[in-house]
Amino acid sequence: MSKGRSAYHCISKYIRNIIMIWESNILLKFLFGKCTRQETDDVNAWLNESKYNQRTLSHLKSTVNNYL
The reported pLDDT for the residue numbered 50 is 94
pLDDT tens, residue order, the chain (68 aa): 455 567 777 777 766 766 667 666 889 899 999 999 999 999 999 999 999 999 999 998 998 888 77
- Say how far apart CA 28 and CA 8 lie, in whole Å: 30
CA dist 43 and 13 (Å) reads 23
Report if pTM > 0.75: no
How far apart (Å, rounded) are the C-alpha atoms in residues 7 and 29? 33
* Cα angle, residue 39 at apex, residues 49 and 15 outer, rounded to 5°: 75
Whole-number pLDDT of residue 18? 66
